[in-house]
Amino acid sequence: MKTGGLISYVKELVYLMRFMNRRRKTKYYIGLSVTAITQSLFLVSFSFVVESLVTFAESRDTSLLFKAFYILGGALLLENVVSPWFTYMYQRSVEFTVLEIRERLYHKVCRLRAKYLEQTHNGDLLSRVNNDVTTVETTYSTIYFVMLTQIIFSIGSIVAMLSVHWQFACASLTILLLSFSISIRFVRQIRKLYEQSLQGLANMTGKFLDFIGGIQLVKLFQIRPIYAQYRGLNEQVAQIAAQTAKKSGMLAAVNHFVSYVTFCGIIVVGSLLYAYGLIGMGSVAALAVLQINLTHAIMNFGTVLSLAQNSLAGAHRVQEILEEEEEPERLGSPVSELVSEAMVEFRDVEFSYQADKRVLHKLSLQVYKGQVAAIVGASGSGKSTLIKLLLGFYPIDRGEILLQGKPFGHYTLEEIRGQIAYVPQDAFLFSGTIEDNIRYGNPQATTEEVMEAAKAAYAHHFIQELPERYNTQVGERGASLSGGQRQRIAIARAILKNAPILLLDEATSALDNESEYWVQRALNELMKGRTTILIAHRLSTVEKADFITVMNQGTIVEQGTHQNLLEREGHYARLYG
Ligand SMILES: Nc1ncnc2c1ncn2[C@@H]1O[C@H](COP(=O)(O)OP(=O)(O)OP(=O)(O)O)[C@@H](O)[C@H]1O
């Protein structure tokens, strides 16, 4: 490996410390350094213990025996009394830093653009938050520690060797550098493999999430390709792991070879020098201990440097998310002079998800306070896109959206979303209790207010019949409730939010007659006194709307009441017929 490559690795290892704040960094550095120094001293001191004992055996000088005991006692004190305190100090910094990274990722995901979230598989995000953050944790708690210990220990061993026999020390240093340069040759290859492995794991997690999400379909249709794809990814990860093991094995073999050759060299050369009276047996024993320790230190360093590649790859994936572009604070200029009489107005709005495919063409629509506006149209005509734009998930290309008479840019995205309650087609419940799920509409609401909302949403009755009532756990995504029950809880949540504007993505389309009846009544309650935009997939639900907008290929082709539109015998009449 070139010096430039080594420098860039060192830079990357330093870069990883960015995740830690300054106060923690100081504690981390102190804790890590003191622990590494005490452990190194403990190991280096053994060579002096061995030297004193062997020389005592030769000379019967009892002061050497005491010296060995003192060194050993001091080393044990450092290792068992001092070191644990400092280990706790740096490990605590690590654990709190990892907690902060996960929190930062959570908040970051909340602020990511809809476009990024739609294009990124949940499995990939999950893998970054779990696997990749764990690799960063390993670096802080183990890799840096082992690296630092090996460096300090190597320096300590070389100094000790110099004090025992400088010629041996120089020879050892040469072997050390040679062995080190061989070790790090493998590191770059191993890094590439780790990067591939992490991406493979992310793909596998994504595939598994797909499988779990669609488990009913997988069973029903016996979808074998899903398993084949999962297995393919699994095999890929296993193959990469096998290649990594091969490289790591080669690295260990080289290090072992160097280690034992030099150990034997010391014994042979040391014995010869002893035979000619040029060195004491105690010194030969100390040098042998130091040499074997030194080569182990280099081996460990090489191994840990290759493991660090995994962490660096993981850290980069974490950093990628943290650096990902966020939603802006507001969409549009806050100083626009535009005004509108309507509660919600789309004025000549043009929009495309991808540059070459326009989805909305100069679309204009006004919904006045208290009105119920239904939007109908063929699949793909742009109905859901209108809702996404109104929720501020995408910036529009041209035109203006006005809310409560003011242009979009007048409000922050948080303010816009605060004015809107949204009930999607597939009501999403979070795992937790029914009460929690309703209260997400207004975290400050009292238990009585939660119940009032549930009553208004015709949910109270069925909730009371559940074993734990409002404390019943809904299961993952509300799996323990029926579709209609989930919808009514979602409606209760929207009622509790008490926002002036309501967006409904027709919520009754997948329900049986009885559920539909109750959900429809709940929706009527929810719509009272609010300005509502209702995306209707079935025309029977739009008859009572104040006006109906018919969309086709991103434009409004008709507008009027149910009766007018039927009489016109145009698009609506054809859809209705
Ligand atoms: N995230 C996206 N990225 C790219 N294109 C998209 C995206 N979402 C929707 N589209 C495209 O935009 C067009 C309008 O889609 P939209 O979902 O608004 O239609 P819709 O009228 O709500 O359809 P449906 O009734 O089937 O839900 C379609 O051509 C669709 O393929």
Distance 266 CA to ligand 1 centre (A): 75
Regarding the beta carbon of 381 and ligand 1, being less than 6 Å apart is answered yes
Distance 537 CA to ligand 1 centre (A): 14
CB 329 within 8 A of CB 111: no
Nearest atom of ligand 1 to the alpha carbon of 535: 22
Higher pLDDT residue, 296 or 467? Answer: 467
pLDDT over threshold 60, residue 329: yes
Distance 353 CA to ligand 1 centre (A): 9
| Nearest CA among 375, 429, 173, 398 for reference residue 294 | 173
When the pLDDT of each residue in the chain is averaged and rounded to a whole number, the result is 82
Distance 490 CA to ligand 1 centre (A): 24
CATH topology agreement for domains 1-164+303-327 and 344-576: no
Residue owning the nearest CA to atom 10 of ligand 1: 353
Amino acid symbol at 22: R
- Binned at pLDDT 50, 70 and 90, residue 1 comes out as very low
Nearest atom of ligand 1 to the alpha carbon of 554: 14
Of the residues 349, 356, 381, which should be mutated to test ligand 1's pocket, given the most ligand atoms within 8 Å of the CB? 381
The fold for domain 344-576 equals Rossmann fold (3.40.50)
Q: 3-class SS at 482?
A: coil
Residue owning the nearest CA to atom 7 of ligand 1: 353
- Contacts of 539 by beta carbon, 8 Å cutoff, 6+ apart: 376, 575, 576
Residue owning the nearest CA to atom 31 of ligand 1: 380
pLDDT over threshold 90, residue 224: no
The tens digit of pLDDT for each residue in 407-447 reads: 888 888 888 888 888 888 777 888 788 888 898 888 888 88
Distance 380 CA to ligand 1 centre (A): 5
- Binned at pLDDT 50, 70 and 90, residue 140 comes out as confident
ipTM: 0.96
Nearest atom of ligand 1 to the alpha carbon of 388: 18
Q: Residue 547 forms beta bridges with which residues?
A: 373
| Domain coordinates in residue numbering, the chain | 1-164+303-327, 166-278, 344-576
Nearest atom of ligand 1 to the alpha carbon of 354: 4
| CATH, domain range 1-164+303-327 | 1.20.1560.10
Dig out the tokens for 16 from the structure.
């990883």
Of the residues 384, 397, 533, 542, which should be mutated to test ligand 1's pocket, given the most ligand atoms within 8 Å of the CB? 384
Regarding the beta carbon of 380 and ligand 1, being less than 6 Å apart is answered yes
Q: 3-class SS at 368?
A: coil
Regarding the beta carbon of 291 and ligand 1, being less than 6 Å apart is answered no
- Binned at pLDDT 50, 70 and 90, residue 375 comes out as very high
Regarding the beta carbon of 127 and ligand 1, being less than 6 Å apart is answered no
Helices (H) and strands (E) in the chain, counts: 21, 10
Regarding the beta carbon of 31 and ligand 1, being less than 6 Å apart is answered no
pTM: 0.72
pLDDT over threshold 90, residue 210: no
CB 384 within 8 A of CB 393: no
Of the residues 385, 425, 550, which should be mutated to test ligand 1's pocket, given the most ligand atoms within 8 Å of the CB? 385
Name the strand (E) or helix (H) holding 502.
strand 501-505
Q: Which of 96-105, 291-300, 466-475, 523-532 is predicted most confidently?
A: 96-105
Residue 365 has φ and ψ, to the nearest 5°, of -155, 135
Regarding the beta carbon of 359 and ligand 1, being less than 6 Å apart is answered yes
Residue 225 has a CB neighbour count (10 Å cut-off) of 9
Nearest atom of ligand 1 to the alpha carbon of 381: 21
CA 78 vs CA 37, 38, 39, 141, 226: distances in Å: 10, 6, 8, 20, 57
Q: Residue 112 forms beta bridges with which residues?
A: 326
Amino acid symbol at 343: M
Distance 391 CA to ligand 1 centre (A): 15
